[in-house]
Amino acid sequence: MAERKKPKSHHFTAAIITSIYAVTAVAWIFVSDFVLVLLVDDPDNFIQYHLLKDWAFVLITTLMVFYLVRFQLRKYSHHLHKFKSQRSELHMLSQFRKSIIDNASIWINVLDRQGYVTVWNKAAEQISGYRREEVLKNTKVWEWLYPDLEYRASVRKLSHTIIEEGAELQGSETVIHTKSGEEKIISWNSRRFLNDRGEVKGSIAIGRDITEQKRAQHALQEREHQLMNLMDNLPGMAYRRLNDEDWSMKFVSSGCRKLTGFESGALTDNRELSFASILHEEDRRNARRAISRAMALKRPFAMEYRIRRRDGNLIWVWEQGRAVTVGKERFLEGIILDIDRRKIMEQELERLATHDPLTGLYNRRELEQQLIDELNRAERYQRPLSLLLLDVDHFKVINDRHGHLAGDQVLCQLSQLLQSSVRSVDYVARYGGEELVIVMPEVDEQEALEMAERLRRLVESKQMPIAADMPVRVTASLGVAAYPVHGREIAHLFMKADEAMYRAKRQGRNRVVIADKAV
């Protein structure tokens, strides 16, 4: 603006000086001549005074011009100094701006209205691989950055919209090809810019290389997708919950429905019910104790318990988890798996290890283990213990006449009859073949003898149906031995009871015989 005003100012000043000089000259001529005519009558003196008047005019006008020129030179010198100072400041500001743009860590470029690059900073060089000298005023840069024709056309159209229509971009992403052939994702903020007269000069764009960020985001999404697939295919559910009384779930995977019968949303934040409410009452305390113990030791926890499904069925589940801290909150995270089938198999295997598969009674091994505990208890507290050994009379005849399947049916029915006829603290076991044993804690020899006789009569009175129209009657011979009168060890007690039972058989069967007292 100062450069445009300076010529006009000089012309105006020159016009003013000329006008003043002309007015002064005219005024001096007319006024001085008029005064000379009035004051001087002598022609010779008139010429001298007239000459003196002219020299006075020259002197006065010279002094006036001197002071006017001096004043104007001082004013011009002041303006010149001010102009040089402003120019220096503008140059420094320009250098500062260039330095800021060049040293910026983000891509900055400027386009003119024809789409030519006019500014291309160092960050743009580093990201794209193309140097400033290669791209300035070179339209090839569009082909280099966007080799695909259709994609390049869409980017150019967007650039044109920014410049001509004033559109602004915020976070718009494009994929560029660098000079080395690598693909990079750039996030752009762009707008057009105007000069001081409001004319559109082009557009300025700021770009951030978000390639690594996008790759990390994609990898994270892929891991989350894989994790969700994994959780959805678990034979149970994954969870995050609070360690409170309700076991309040904050996250439940979709496997919840298959495991519990409830939708995951029903358990999340206890919207319909809490997870603790579906735990079996007998297992809740043990589960909480296991979690507290693991948290105190800062270890993962694992436990088994029963839950009641929505359909009312009880199933066994296995849970493994650990305490985690997210932000400032404490959670429990883990998985809960359905182990009901495995648990049933384990229980069945356990039962088969301790029970006779035909009758469901304790087998001989478990009988001996239980009897050891009972004898130790009887010895410690000086209490009696009795043992009944029962053998089915003529059992071979039943097998030979009706078949082994009928014999098995008789043994099963006889076992059920004895179990239902003894006390809850007594237990019946299959000793071998058709021999059954009844252990009676806190029962002496006399009480055992009476119990044996009652059971003998009960067996004799019952019919054992082996087919719809084929009931059979059986009898039994029983031997009785009691601790401590007949022995203090298992082997002695069994030997005494066995001897008594065989005496009953020899004496005609269907009777009870008590063992001889130990010598």
Dump the DSSP string for 356-404: -TTT-SB-HHHHHHHHHHHHHHHHHHT--EEEEEEEETTHHHHHHHH-H
Angular region, 185: left φ>0, alpha ψ -120 to 50, beta rest: beta
CA torsion, points 131, 133, 135, 139, in degrees to nearest 10?
-160
Preceding peptide of 7 cis, ω within 30°: no
Nearest CA-CA partner of 388 in 415, 433, 427, 358: 427
Q: What angle in degrees, to the nearest 10, is found between the helix axes of 364-381 and 340-354?
A: 70
Nearest CA-CA partner of 340 in 260, 414, 405: 260
Query: What is the amino acid identity at position 171?
Result: G
Report the side by side order of strands in the sheet with 435-441.
427-432, 435-441, 385-392, 476-483, 512-514
Cα R_g (the chain), whole angstroms: 58
Dump the DSSP string for 320-340: EEEEEEETTEEEEEEEEEE-H
What is the distance between the terminal CA atoms of the chain, rounded to a whole angstrom?
138
Nearest CA-CA partner of 417 in 343, 377, 476, 345: 476
| 272 Cβ contact partners less than 8 Å away, ≥ 6 residues apart | 262, 266
DSSP-based three-state secondary structure for 435: strand
Residues present in the chain in total = 519
**Of these residues, 319, 374, 434, 435, which one is catalytic?**
434
| 242 Cβ contact partners less than 8 Å away, ≥ 6 residues apart | 248, 250, 330, 331, 332
CA–chain centroid gap for 422, Å, is 59
d(CA 144, CA 134): 11
Judge whether 52 and 39 are in contact, CB under 8 Å. no
134 catalytic? Reply is no
Q: Where are the alpha helices (DSSP H) in 129-255?
A: 132-135, 140-145, 149-165, 211-232
d(CA 430, CA 448): 19
d(CA 368, CA 390): 16
Per-position b or e across 66-96, b if 16+ CB within 10 A of its CB: eeeeeebeeeeeeeeeeeeeeeeeeeeeeee
d(CA 389, CA 387): 7
Judge whether 237 and 246 are in contact, CB under 8 Å. no
Catalytic residue annotation: 434
